Amino acid sequence: MNEKIKVIITDDHALFRQGVKVALSHRQDIEFLGEAENGMQLLNMLKFLQPDVILLDIQMPIMDGIATLPEVKKIMPDVKIIMLTMHNEVTLISKLMGIGANSYLTKDSDSETIYQAIKTCFENEFFFNEFTNRAMLTGLRTQTNAPKQDDDADLSDKELHVLKLMCEEKSTKEIADIVEISPRTVEAIRDRLKVKTGAKSTAGLILYAVKHGLIES
């Protein structure tokens, strides 16, 4: 498949943006659509550009990554967002994954890790690493005080099957092939699972599955 993954990088440091672009310039399957200095600039760019993946710095002037993330997801719910930061704060990662981030990388990550994160998020929605795994499991512990409405979720066998396959990081097409349904039906089941469990993102669904013993944590 020759499809190029279209990427926008949003970071207030021009040298960092340039460094990432140069480091990935030899990758034939990556195409940089543009770059932004802050969240406001990114939102303006999204009026006329359609990226597959956005690299989004957390700390920026005018509009930071935390404020930008939910705004981007409102207008482009399917775009994959990889948060960039100098720190690996577990509680922050958990919050960001809960509101729609697809991965979280520290800015000292090597070019191979950044490439794998872009490619894996594009193909399978998430790129899990030591930061995201620790954050999601920590998120489980802090959820013990959350409302219990998701405990009442009545999931069908097919919904449970799809949820377990999502937890195994299967792509929409792979799930469709395994369950013998169309990719569009997989997406509809994913949306239904979010409604039933109260999860706001696929990361939230995975947290639900771990919390309820549907998969091993």
- Residue 195 per-residue DSSP state: H
> Phi and psi dihedrals of 156, rounded to 5?
-75, 165
- Is residue 137 one of the residues assigned to a domain? no
Distance CA 113, CA 82 (A): 12
Domain count, the chain: 2
Find out whether 45 and 57 touch, Cβ atoms under 8 Å.
no
pLDDT digits (tens, 9 = 90+) for 73-102: 999 988 999 999 887 666 777 778 778 888
Whether residues 120 and 152 fall in one domain: no
- Is residue 156 one of the residues assigned to a domain? yes
- We report the CATH number of the domain holding residue 90 as 3.40.50.2300
- Is residue 82 one of the residues assigned to a domain? yes
Residue 203: both structure tokens together: 């990361």
The predicted pLDDT at position 201 comes to 76
pLDDT tens for the chain, 217 residues: list them.
468 999 999 999 999 999 999 999 899 999 999 999 999 999 999 999 999 999 999 999 889 988 999 999 999 988 999 999 887 666 777 778 778 888 888 888 888 999 999 998 998 888 877 666 666 666 555 554 444 444 556 788 888 889 888 887 788 889 999 999 998 898 889 888 888 887 877 777 887 887 777 765 4
What string of DSSP letters covers 36-99? ESSHHHHHHHTTT---SEEEEESS-SSS-HHHHHHHHHHH-TT-EEEEEES---HHHHHHHHHT
- Is residue 138 one of the residues assigned to a domain? no
Whether residues 60 and 121 fall in one domain: yes
Whether residues 35 and 113 fall in one domain: yes
Residue type, 187: E
Scored b (16 or more CB within 10 A) or e, 56-89 reads: bbbebeebbbbebbeebbeeeeebbbbbbbeebe
Range of the domain at 164: 146-211
Find out whether 164 and 214 touch, Cβ atoms under 8 Å.
yes
Name the nearest CA neighbour of 61 among 79, 41, 89.
Answer: 41
Whether residues 62 and 168 fall in one domain: no
Whether residues 20 and 120 fall in one domain: yes
- Is residue 48 one of the residues assigned to a domain? yes
- Residue 212 per-residue DSSP state: T
Whether residues 30 and 92 fall in one domain: yes
pTM above 0.85, yes or no: no
Which of 96, 129, 162 marks a domain boundary?
A: 129
What string of DSSP letters covers 108-131? T--HHHHHHHHHHHHHHS----HH
Distance CA 165, CA 168 (A): 5
Distance CA 11, CA 37 (A): 5
